[in-house]
Amino acid sequence: MSEPIALREFELNCPQCGNKVKASVYAYEVPYLGPLLISVVKCESCGFRRRDVETAEAGEPVKIKVKVRGEKELRYLVVKSAKASVAIPEAGLEYTPGPYAQGYITTVEGILHEFLGALDVTCEGGRCEEIRRWLNEAVEGRVEFTLVICDPEGKSRVVGEAERGAIDEECPLLH
């Protein structure tokens, strides 16, 4: 990975407390992913933090589908932009970003762990336990599934075998 290049530094109002905060945007050249932009905002007054990662090159709206058959696909590298939604149709799981959503770099397995973390915070009871068991089996590579990433800005990427296509009915909030 290349040394960061500070593209821009500026001040803005903290969305949590309203005080002035410093925001920085850096550019990196990353093998297999190309140029990435990483932005950082930190408020010293209230502790608000926001980090965002996205590819530097915007594209057309895109739907990315990964057929996960085992451990190999679980290790695929993923850049998920802040505006991208993520779904696993076989489990009925969908993540739709809000106004303060962040982009990040992870793996397919990391996305499963994101769903597990959200489940721990938002869900209790029988159906939740079924989903938790399913996600744990998926993390262990014992369940085949499809990961669908829908990005209206075309800034998300997967390093590995993936279909790229147009936004369609699998991206209900974006088509």
Q: Which domains, from first to last, does the chain contain?
A: 5-55 (2.20.25.420), 62-165 (2.60.120.1040)
C-alpha span between 167 and 58 (Å, rounded)? 15
Alpha helices in the chain (DSSP H): 71-74, 108-122, 126-139
Q: What is the CA radius of gyration of the chain?
A: 17
Burial class for 126, CB neighbours closer than 10 Å (0-12, 13-18, 19+): exposed
The tokens for 37 are 């932009």
Q: Provide the token pair at 114.
A: 């994101």
Identity at 52, one-letter amino acid code: D
Helix/strand/coil (H/E/C) assignment for every residue in 129-141: HHHHHHHHHHHCC
CB-based contact 26:7 (threshold 8 Å): yes
Q: CA 120, 123, 126, 131 torsion: positive or negative? A: negative
Beta bridge pairs of residue 85: 150
pLDDT at 115: 95
Confidence (pTM): 0.84
Nearest 5°: CA angle at 97, between 115 and 75? 45
Q: Average pLDDT for consecutive 10-residue bins of the chain (175 residues)?
A: 69 93 90 87 93 86 96 96 94 90 94 92 82 96 96 93 90 61
pLDDT of residue 125: 75
Q: What are phi and psi of 44, to 5 degrees?
A: -70, -25
What pLDDT, on the 0 to 100 scale, is given for residue 175? Answer: 43
